Each structure stands twice: as C-alpha cells, then as structure tokens.
Amino acid sequence: MKRLLIFASILLLFLSFSYSEKRAINFDDFIKIGRVSDLQISPDGKYLAYVVTYLSKENNTSNSDIWVLNEDGEKIQITRNPRADFHPRWNPDGKVLYFISVRDSSPQIYKIKLGGGEPFKVSDIYFGVSSFTISPDGKKIAFVSETYPDCKDDKCNKEREEAKEKSKLKVRIYDGLLFRHWNSWRDEKRNHIFIMSLEGGEIKDLIKGNYDAPPIALGGNPDYSFSPDSKEIAFTMNTDPVVAISTNNDVFVIPVEGGEPKRISTGKGNDNQPFYSPDGKYIAFRSMERPGFEADKERLILYERETGRQINLTETLDRSVDEVIWSSDSKNIYFTAEDKGYKPLYRVTLDGKIEKILDKVFISQVRLLDGKKFYFIKQSINRPPEVFIWEEGKEPLQLTHVNDELLKEIDMNPVEEFWFKGSKGRMVHALMVKPPKFDPNKKYPAVFLIHGGPQGAWSDAFHFRWNAQMFASPGYVVIMINFTGSTGYGQKFTDDISGDWGGAPFEDIMKGVEFAKKFTFVDKNRLAAAGASYGGYMINWIAGHTDIFKCLISHAGVYNLESMYGATEELWFPEWEFRGAPWTNRKIYEKFSPHRYAHNFKTPTLVSHGELDYRVPVTEGLQFYTTLQRKGVPSKLIYFPDEDHFISKPKNAEVWWREVLSWLEKYLK
C-alpha cells in the first residue's frame, strides 16, 4: 500500500508538472491544426477515406490531402500533391478511390487504386469540376461544372471564355437580378449537372435552360443523387425568374439518359438535399414551408415514388433537420439537428416516430455501416474535428488522431453552460470558456462574442474563424449568448428576431452581461464585445445604445440598413427580416439602423471588412469607421482588399488576430 501511495504521489507530481508545461494557444499553434473533413466509407466497410487540410502561413495557402484508414487501424496517406486533393468517393467495388485534384491547374476528377500507383485523370472539362457522385452500378459519374447554357459542347465553353479573357473590354451590362453573389460578379455561366460514362467518356448536360442546378444558395449537401438502379437522378434547382428574391428551390427527378425533369416537391419554400432509399421506393428531402425565409424549419419529407404521396416525418420535432442518412434496410432515417448548443443524432421511422439516440455531442458527416456502426466527425470547443466510430449503448471511440501531438502542448478548457432569464421572460442559453490556467480566486476581463446569421448559434464546436480558445488565451473569460433568433431552441425562438433586430436580441445580450457580472471571477469593470456579420451589426447597435463595454470589435457589420439593402445580393433576406423593401416599410429600416444612433458613439471600436464582401458590402464598414473618426471616438480600420465575408488567407488571419488581441489588451489589461 505504501509503495502504491508513493507511486500515486509521483504520478500526481508528473501530471501537475505536465499541466504547468502546457501553454495558451497562439496563432502559430492555431494555424498548424489539421482540419479533418469529408469522411467516406468503402462499400465493404474495410476502409475509411477522409481529407486533412493544413494551412501554411509561409505560403499563405492551404493544401488538402486524402488519407485512408484500414480495418487494422493503419493510416495511409493516399495523395501527396502540393496542390489540393479532396472530395474522395469510392467506386462500388471498393477497390478504386475517385477524387478531385487541382494538380493540373483546374479541378478535375482523378482515380487511384488502393494498391498504389499514380492517379489517373478521368475528367478534362474546361471549367473544372466542383463536386461529383458515382452511380451505384459504377458505370457513370454525375458531376457539377459551370457552363454557358446555350453551349452544346465543351469546345464552345472554351472558345467563349478565352475570347472574353482576351478582350480589352471589361465592362459588364445587366438588365436583371442577381448580378453578383457572395464574392464574385455573375455572368452568363450557370452550374449544371453533367453525366459522364466511365466506359466511353461521353459527357451529357442534364440541365436545359438558364438555371443553376444545384442552386447558388440555400441548397443541401449534396443536392443531387443517383437512384439505386442508376437510372435516375434527383436534384435541386430554382426555376423562379428572379433568384435574388426567391428561396423557392425545388426537388426534381430526371432520367440519367436525359429528358424533361419532373418536379416532385410542391412547397413554395426551400426544398433541397434529396436522397433515395436503398430499396428505391422513396426519396427523402428537406423542406421549408415559408417562401422568402431562409431560416425556416427544415422538415424531413418522405416522397413515395410510386404514388407521389408526401409525408412530413418531423412534424412533431421542433428542430431543423441537417444531414440525412438512410438505414440499409430502408426502414429508418438518421439525421442530425442543432439542439441547445450541440448537434446530436436522431432516428425516425417511416411512420414518424422520432428518437434522439446520441446526445450532448457536435457531430457531422454521419455514415452508417451494417445498420450498427456509425462513423462521423466529432468536435468540441476544445477539440478540433476528428473521425469517431460509435455503436448504440457505447461511448464514441476516436479513430483519427491528427492533432493529438499538438494538443498535448496546449491548455484549452472545455465549454461550460448557463441559463438566465432574457427578453419576453424566456430562458436564454449561454456558453462560456475560461482562460488557460484558470484560477477561480482571481478576477478576469470578459469578452462577449456575438454570432452571425442572425439565425445561427454558438455551439460546442471548434470554430476555425471565431475561435473561443484564441479569444480566451490572453486571460479572458469568453461568453457566447444564444440570444433570440438563435437556432436549436425551437422555431418560434428563431422567428422572433425577424423585424426586431435591435430589440429582443439586444435585451438578451444586456441581461446576459448583467448575469455574468455576478460570477465572482468576472471583473465587471473590464468587459468587451465582438461580433461578425449580424454580430457586427449588433456591435454597431451596441455602440449607439450602451457604454458598458471598454471596447468593441465589429467585423463585416451592417451599419446602414437602407444602403445595405441596395448593395447586397440575396434580397429575400432583408425583405423578410425588415418586412419589405425600404420604400414599402421605411419605418423598420429607420428604427433598427445603427447609423441613426451615431450621436451616442463613444466606445473605442475596431472595425474590419473585406473588399470582396458582397453579402455585407465593404461600404458598411467604411461608413461606420468614418463616423467613429469624425466623432473623435478611438477607432481603427483593418481593410482586406483580397477577402470576402470571411478572413480566409493565413497571413490575413494572422494580422486580424494580432490586431484584435492587441485591441483587447489595450482596453482590458
């Protein structure tokens, strides 16, 4: 017993020493984290393919490679190309892996045998391939590529695009909407689904007309799939004349040999993500009921192919369906859905009986083998995504360990949760991350992060942009409030932000701040707030309505609701959120526009924005910064000429984090 006690004491001392050696995460650590994605199981269940992406600060790029995990637990790197390899998909015989590579400048489909050898190029289409799927019989590939809709072959696409590039005239002329989207200007090209024969190489465009299929927005993942007999494809497309004001994506089916598409969804809202049942009797797809609303409840609809009958399988569940997967016997459907800061796994029978079978996890890319073994990518706020296996009644078991060595050196605390009474007398959920080497007897500054969307949510997930651990690392308590409008708390809670952007959500945040001040470890006199997109809007709104924060950080924030309406791209969004256009409902645009409260601005504010942001155009950030400067408010602008709504390039991200953390240090330390 004495020896055992001595051993335990030594072990405790070792663990204490190991813990003390851990450091707070810094940007160099953050950029080294491998990003695991796109899990795919071979048909025989013997192999798992997945993608690992690394960012390089030195090269200011990212690179993805494909790995395979075999049944013996051995991890094999399949591709080693300095250009990206991604989107792995198994041939039905499980012996060949297809993938997309940009090793030859444009993204094309390649294949490689598991036994080794050099990848073989399968496609050579001018505009490249953005995604693909293989038919169950292994004879065809359906892929998505851009095309000029009136071009009959790839030669026509090539000639037209090269002529445009050679032309010295760069003017653009439009006579309708949508004229730009996300980070690029629209031209005559559209996304179409093509069918390629793997035997003869013949390529056929399945989509006729000036439509995007899959659609440019609000689609699923994926938005096209083969029937089990390989004779038909179900896909998503929006055929409304003005897509800038339409969320009316619909599900269609079309013979693989071509023909007229048949519309099978009947709703006026967003229908997407069709999947055939393994027995071929059904197509399951997601459906929103209300047109014009991008954050309506995603219902799971079952379409009976023989009769055309449609059943809402999730009518009794007040959550939005995310990813969908069929059981091999076609008797059950499994899906994920946001729920109070997590993304658990559900099962629903074909008669609508719903059961949550895995809770308090954040998972994605669920795959099912033999009706028993689930594979998925799991993450948490202090653990980047990795591949796990799970069987009901057991704990998930980690299969990949891409980041284990790095994480051994870093001190990152798990998420904590609390609830408080917010607006309308409702309970509001908040997540919290404490700083490294947290001492409950000390007082720490607090940083409140405000999410975008606005119909989004903070979750127990490792965010690769607004990372809670990076904000906590200098010694801050990070608090993330899922205010009115957040997803995962019922559709009514989500709905209530529309038409009330600066109302209930602001009240929730302020009441959350007051609640957090009562924590003994929070220094109530050193508080800051930061947010992006709608979160940036809320920062701009806060600037005009309270001075309780020592400093603010606004990225890609909406400042002037009316000017934003005239320059953004997806017009259904402001027309739903503000109950019309500025000339039909000016009252609400005026009531909730931050620029109208500029006379109250006094809090030091850091503003950042990207030139290529067409969702919230860069002028929104410039207007806010200009006003702060003219009013003499301490402020700084970070302008990114080569970024869009997100800061993606490693060197830019390093500058952003450096400026953000320096700003916080200046006013909180």
By annotation, the residues acting in catalysis are 533, 613, 645
* Residue corresponding to tokens 């050193």: 526
| Residue 157 DSSP one-character state | H
Bridge partners of 532, per DSSP, are: 555
Long-range contacts of 522-525 (CB under 8 A, 24+ apart): 522/443, 522/444, 522/446, 522/477, 523/443, 523/444, 523/445, 523/446
* Residue corresponding to tokens 């003390």: 20
How many other CB atoms are found less than 10 A from the CB of residue 17?
A: 9
Cα 421 to Cα 208: distance, rounded to the nearest angstrom: 54
| Residue 205 DSSP one-character state | E
| C-alpha closest to that of 648 among 555, 522, 559 | 555
How many other CB atoms are found less than 10 A from the CB of residue 603?
A: 23
| C-alpha closest to that of 364 among 380, 382, 348 | 380
Query: 527 with 446: CB under 8 angstroms?
Result: yes
Strand bridging mode 224-226 / 232-237: antiparallel
Lookup: tokens for 564: 């934003």
Cα 199 to Cα 201: distance, rounded to the nearest angstrom: 6
Please list, in sequence order, all residues whose beta carbon lies within 8 angstroms of the beta carbon of residue 176, skipping any fewer than 6 positions away.
Answer: 242
| C-alpha closest to that of 642 among 634, 630, 650, 631 | 650
Cα 408 to Cα 398: distance, rounded to the nearest angstrom: 16
Instruction: Specify the amino acid at residue 510.
Output: M
Bridge partners of 191, per DSSP, are: 146
Cα 149 to Cα 237: distance, rounded to the nearest angstrom: 14
Handedness of CA 298, 300, 303, 308 (dihedral sign): negative
Instruction: Specify the amino acid at residue 659.
Output: E
Cα 43 to Cα 92: distance, rounded to the nearest angstrom: 6
